[in-house]
Amino acid sequence: MSAAAELARRHRWRWWEALPWLAALGYFFAFPNYLAFGTQVLVTILFALSLDLVLGYAGIVTLGHAAFFGAGAYTVGMMALHLGWNEPLSGLAAAALVAGATGLASGLVLLRTQGLALLMLTLCTMALLEQAANMGAAWTGGFDGMPGLSFGRILGLFGFDVLYYRSQYLYALALLFACFLIVRTLVYSSFGQSLTGIRENLLRMHAVGAPVRTRQVIAYTVSAALAGVAGALFAQANGYVNLAVLGLDRSAGVMIVLILGGYGRLYGAFVGAIAYMALEHVLATAYPTAWQLGVGLTLVAVALFARNGLIGIVDALRRLAGRAAGSPR
Binding to other proteins in span 3-22, by CB under 8 A: 3-4, 6-11
- DSSP letter at 65? T
Judged by CB under 8 A, the chain residues 167 through 186 that form the site for other proteins are 185-186
Task: Kindly state the smallest distance separating residue 212's Cβ from other proteins, in Å.
Answer: 7
Interface pattern 212-231 for other proteins (x via CB under 8 A):
x-xx--x-------------
Helix axes 35-51, 166-188, angle to 10 degrees: 20
φ and ψ at residue 145, rounded to 5 degrees: 75, -155
- Is 300 a residue that touches other proteins (CB under 8 A)? yes
Task: Give me the helix-helix angle, 66-82 and 88-110, nearest 10°.
Answer: 140
Nearer to other proteins, 147 or 288 (CB): 288
Return the number of the residue (71 or 218) whose C-beta is nearest other proteins: 218
How many Cβ atoms sit within 10 Å of the Cβ of residue 32? 13
**Closest to other proteins by CB, 134 or 327:** 134
Does the protein bind other proteins through residue 157 (CB under 8 A)?
no
Could you tell me the smallest distance in angstroms from the CB atom of residue 25 to other proteins? 27
Distance between CA 37 and CA 39 in Å, rounded? Answer: 5
Amino acid letter for position 142: G
144 is a contact residue toward other proteins (CB under 8 A): no
Among 162, 278, 290, 317, binds other proteins (CB under 8 A): 290
| Residue 50 sits in the site that holds other proteins (CB under 8 A) | no
Q: Extract long-range pairs of 87-94: CB within 8 Å, 24+ residues apart.
A: 87/151, 87/152, 88/151, 88/152, 88/153, 88/154, 88/160, 88/171, 88/236, 89/154, 89/155, 91/151, 91/232, 91/236, 92/175, 92/229, 92/232, 92/233, 92/236
Q: Is 83 in the site for other proteins (CB under 8 A)?
A: no
Min CB(50)–other proteins separation in Å = 16
- Residue 151 falls in which region: left (phi positive, over 0), alpha (psi -120 to 50) or beta: beta
Give Cα separations from 40 to 97, 126, 169, 251, 279 (angstroms). Answer: 22, 22, 9, 16, 14
Binder to other proteins among 254, 259, 266, 311 (CB under 8 A)? 259
Contact call for residue 207 and other proteins (CB under 8 A): yes
Burial call 66-84: b when 16+ CB within 10 Å, e when fewer: bbbbbbbbbbbbbbbbeee
Give the residue with the Cβ less far from other proteins, 39 or 216.
216
Q: Total number of residues binding other proteins (CB under 8 A)?
A: 76
Of 14-22, 77-85, 164-172, 210-218: span binding other proteins (CB under 8 A): 210-218
Only one of the segments 41-49, 87-95, 168-176, 206-214 lies at the binding site for other proteins (rule: CB under 8 A); that segment is 206-214
Q: Is 303 in the site for other proteins (CB under 8 A)?
A: yes
Q: Of 132, 178, 278, 316, which one interacts with other proteins (CB under 8 A)?
A: 132
